[in-house]
Amino acid sequence: LTAVSCKNNNEEENVDHSGMDHENMGEGSEMMEGGEQTSEDMPGSENQDSQTGIIVNDYMELKNALVADNSEGAAQAGESLVAAFENFNISGYEAAEQQELTEIIESAKEHADHISYSDMAHQREHFELMSIDMVDMLAITGSPERLYQQFCPMYNNKKGAIWLSTSEEIRNPYFGQNMLSCGEVQKEI
């Protein structure tokens, strides 16, 4: 059972202001006494989850800024995402995954860069494409938390567009306050 609503809804947006530290992201692995490697080198390790978590949190900051029609906040989140993508360490993944992640991250980083200096309409266009990259990236890395893939059927000349959210509640980043609750949950990630 799926419900879609495209009416204007003026409820306040709940914005998550995470206090994650971006300074120590992407540092290399360290050797423990006896030559053991820390979990930073192991696939599926906490470090990789942490790196993915930083990207997801920055993405959510971007989404929330677009929901609030806040172009400046979206630009700042775009800058943070560029840095997070640049610092993402893919060495713990298999060769095929590394190649795919490299392509996904380069694409997403380019979109984040455009978001960092563009107007709201252009930010939303790049957010649409980055959201696809995020879903593709999370298919490889996994998600450090439960996310919901949501869909707006009205965006992009009614072709529709996806985005990710930490909540099942629809808060549309493509139309912001004009059509806040337009959309539906497609799947859980």
The answer to whether residues 137 and 118 touch, using CB atoms and an 8 Å cutoff, is no
Where residue 157 falls among pLDDT bands split at 50, 70, 90? confident
Where in 23-169 does DSSP place strands (E)? 148-152, 161-165
Please say if the pLDDT value at position 24 is more than 60: no
Q: How far apart are CA 18 and CA 89, in angstroms?
A: 21
Can you give the pLDDT at residue 11? Answer: 38
Please say if the pLDDT value at position 36 is more than 70: no
How many C-beta atoms lie closer than 10 Å to residue 99's C-beta? 12
Q: In one letter, which amino acid is 138?
A: L
SS3 189: coil
Average pLDDT over residues 31-35: 34
